[in-house]
Amino acid sequence: MVRIYRGDSEEIASGELVIEEVHPNHVDVFYIPDDSELEALGYDGDKPKLHILSIAGQNNYISLYPIEMHNLLNIFEPKHEKIQSITLDGFGFSVPKNSDEVLEILESLPSGFTKDYEHGLGLAYEYRFLIHAIEEMGDFEHLVISKTEETNIDKEKFFTLNFKHYDNLRKNINNTASRAQSAARRIKGITTYNMLAYFLDSPAIPQRTLQRSNNPFLNIISDPNRNDIPLSEGDQEIVIKMAVANTKAIVESQPEKLIKLRDEIELVTLEQLIEKFEATLDRRLTEAYWQQLFCDNPFILTLAFGYPVIKIKDQAHVGGRKFDGSGDKITDFLVKNSLSNNAALFEIKTPGTPLLNKTPQRSAIYSPSSALSGALNQMLDQRSQFQREVAMIKNNERLNNLESYAVQGVLVIGKTPIELDQQKSFELFRGNSKDVAIITFDELLEKLKALHSFLSAKADD
């Protein structure tokens, strides 16, 4: 039996604490729940022996292992997604010899820590944001709160947080929570008063009186016209659901506002895409990265083609398979004209793919690079196989509304040459490419920018 003291009361924990010596002046502490406790939790597995603490006297640290003690979906598993242990370094804890001394150590843990092992050791629930933030910063598995080390990430998988920094963070979280609760109480009080005042024909309390407060949460909650208020992911989801649920009513009453909202969303999305496209244009990224970018933003295919297309499938098999299963031709995107249903094929390379050989062949004329000519031949082969086997592909994929009148190919590759002679050579080469249109990544970027300018001008009208 283990005695747990909470305030003036005393409770008896039914589980067992087990102390095992790792080596002199270093022990591990385990907790073994009682059968009645496991039954109350609805746990029907083997009785666990939970490693909850490690205390190393010679190194002056204590490590806590946060374990989920109540959620049956992951009962007795690590509580956090990545962080597996929280170590207190330099706090001067001595190595316990019995369970009473273990309890004394837990009671001496710093503010912000859960001290009841039956509920899982580690940071208290209200400070979970600290864990979440660290996990978002990298693949850290161990948090070290140190009185001797500065905040750093020198060691792989270890995030070290100076104790003073930790304590400031904890106090800021407490202050933020307190001010938010105070604001919420005041808003609830005024809202309740105004609702009752309406029924009694009494004057309401003006909402603008809230904005004179020095509590910023009151200003945020009470001013519906502010457009610079940051929303959490949960709040964003609520706003989106409300907008979707009321779409029909908004269309009937204020269609122009819904259209404006749609245009603003499209403009912001396009801005982010242009920034991402521009930032990665000169980086050495794989074909898979660019293929995924096109897959996530299929309207770029329409920009590349010049007429409206609908993506049918990415990484599409277009024929050529032999009896041994080899030889299958795969195009990055199979699309079709949204009006005529005529099929087209897309092949995506990288911006860094060289388009021309480095030295001129003769008279300042540069021949196409092996990468460009090889990609062009690859597309021509895919086109040939697709046209030969399109009837079988349509039947297997049940694509009745797909035609192959004149299958066009689009090759997205490289960047436009800078020198005039090289530009001339490139234009001569692609100008004579009959069945495959060749477009560079920087040309696509310019098309995106032109589209953005058009939508921006439209939004200003």
CA pair distance 27, 19, nearest whole angstrom: 7
247: buried, middle or exposed (CB in 10 Å: 19+, 13-18, 0-12)? exposed
Residue 42 φ/ψ, nearest 5 degrees: 80, 25
Picking from 28, 3, 26, the residue whose alpha carbon sits closest to that of residue 18 is: 28
| DSSP alpha helix (H) spans, 63-206 | 99-107, 128-137, 163-200
Picking from 348, 343, 353, the residue whose alpha carbon sits closest to that of residue 385 is: 343
* Strand locations in 307-350 (E): 309-319, 329-337, 342-348
CA pair distance 278, 289, nearest whole angstrom: 14
Q: Please indicate, yes or no, whether the overall pTM of this predicted structure exceeds 0.85.
A: no
Structure tokens given for 115 = 């001290």
Q: How many other CB atoms sit within 10 Å of the CB of residue 443?
A: 16
Q: What is the pLDDT of residue 254?
A: 58
- From first CA to last CA, the distance across the chain in angstroms is 76
Domains in the chain with CATH codes: 2-148 (no CATH), 281-456 (3.40.1350)
* Per-position pLDDT tens, the chain of length 461: 333 333 344 444 468 889 999 989 999 999 988 887 787 777 777 888 999 999 998 889 999 999 988 776 778 888 889 999 999 999 999 999 998 999 999 999 999 998 888 888 989 888 888 898 888 888 899 999 999 999 888 777 899 999 999 998 888 888 777 777 776 677 667 666 666 665 565 565 554 444 445 554 444 444 444 444 455 565 556 555 555 555 566 556 656 655 555 556 666 677 888 888 888 888 888 888 888 888 888 777 777 666 565 655 666 655 544 433 344 556 777 777 778 888 888 888 999 999 999 888 877 889 999 999 999 998 888 888 888 777 877 777 777 777 778 888 889 999 999 999 999 999 999 998 888 889 999 998 888 888 777 777 655 55
CA neighbours closer than 13 Å in the CB half-sphere of residue 433: 22
283: buried, middle or exposed (CB in 10 Å: 19+, 13-18, 0-12)? exposed
Q: Which amino acid is at 140?
A: F
Q: How many other CB atoms sit within 10 Å of the CB of residue 360?
A: 14
